[in-house]
Structure 1
């Protein structure tokens, strides 16, 4: 993981990490679950720091703010704030803590713990290059069916026009702030909020390593990916 100090002047990364992660099974907050002996959040922030960004703000579970601050003290310089009841609230709280001089804001899931620093750099540079909003995406490989409430297949969706979205998602600061200010309903995707403002969201190629760790089996896959990376 190679640092990119040229990003430091204008890029801040928000890491919402207050969710419980119930689909991952019993245990503490999702971001603090262990992967190869370290919390997912540590893996994620370490890779964010290696990308050379200038500011990292983590929205932690309110009861764990001091613990997370201590946990990250040896990993990266990060501001830790109390997250909210939803991801959207956590992102808003983290954005409020970013100094005014940072004009490019990335929002990154702690659950995407193995995201390569190169992808973080690519998203930031796409925003700097003129796009108001940028998301990394992967082609959808499975056949997708539209199904009714009764369980009957309604139709087959053309997967050639579908993409699976990853993080970090990158934005001009004013665009992300406007999207959060205008939001009425809860959203789990910041780019979706920006779309509602009528702003074009640009796509860049994602990375298989940026998988989201959501289920117990994802931890097994992530362990294998991490072991392969360390062995190479």
Structure 2
């Protein structure tokens, strides 16, 4: 079951602090972030700022858009032209270690304009399609009950991508400008910013991710994150 709360996910409590506070502190503790721009649901900017608490770097909060892509574009607009590296991070990955943040930034500054952290995929992955000629039976959630396997990719070449993703500012601005027409609808919007860079035909590189940077989507994820915090 996905998280069901009457507040934005970024404000959900994990180990006594909102997710956004954990994520912001990790960025600050990395020592490589000078400005943090948080995109908030319209009308909740003050609430989001208060949730972050004291922070040893400049903080701005802006209204986000109707999609993740539109929200990133709104935050990106606050990055000054002289900025060399822009990081895009999800509050839903609140336990991302500062060392991972530094690793991404270092890779961008070493000459890789677009960098994402990723972990090797350990499960066998199947690409599927509707079963040709058969009636499509669907579950209560709307997913097909039976599908046909069309391919088993070599998992040694697959990576599960995390955040923060890092980019040279000019490249990310160009990628968002080219992909702006996709930002208005969730089914068209990019699921990550690296996808917008790939659409330009530009290379994206991967650095080692971290298991602690898990994304909190379900109640089980929240329980795992709480246990990880207790172990720390």
Normalised TM-score (structure 2): 0.86
SS at match of 1:170: strand
Shift of 1:153: 2.2
Q: Match for 1:210 among 210, 213, 218?
A: 213
1:189 and 2:169 aligned: no
Query: C-alpha separation between the residues in 1 aligned to 2:170 and 2:83?
Result: 11
Q: Note if 1:46 corresponds to 2:25.
A: yes
Tell me the residue number matched to 1:92.
73
Query: Does 1:32 find its partner at 2:28?
Result: no
Residue 172 of structure 1 deviates from its aligned partner by 0.4
Q: CA deviation at 1:42?
A: 0.4
Give me the whole-angstrom Cα distance separating, in 2, the residues matched to 1:125 and 1:154. Answer: 39
| Aligned pairs (5 A) from 1:166-185 | 166-183=162-179, 184-185=181-182
Where do residues 61-100 of structure 1 align in structure 2 (5 Å cutoff)? 61-76=41-56, 77-100=58-81
Alpha-carbon distance in 2 for matches of 1:138, 1:67: 33
Structure 1 alignment gaps of length 5 or more: 1-21
Q: How do 1:114-133 residues align onto structure 2 when only pairs under 5 Å count?
A: 114-133=95-114
**Structure-2 residue corresponding to 1:198:** 201
Rg larger for: 2
Flag structure 2 segments of 5+ consecutive residues without an equivalent.
132-146, 183-188
- SS, match of residue 22 in structure 2: helix
CA distance in 2, matches of 1:96, 1:31: 21
Supply the distance in 2 between the matched residues of 1:101 and 1:155 (Cα, whole angstroms).
45
> 120-129 or 181-190, which moves further after superposition?
181-190
Whole-Å Cα distance in 1 between the matches of residues 9 and 3 of structure 2?
A: 7
Q: Is 2:133 the partner of 1:154?
A: no
Corresponding residue for residue 221 of structure 1: 224
CA RMSD of aligned residues (A): 1.4
Aligned residue pairs, count: 208
Residue 61 of structure 1 and its aligned partner are, at CA, apart by 1.1
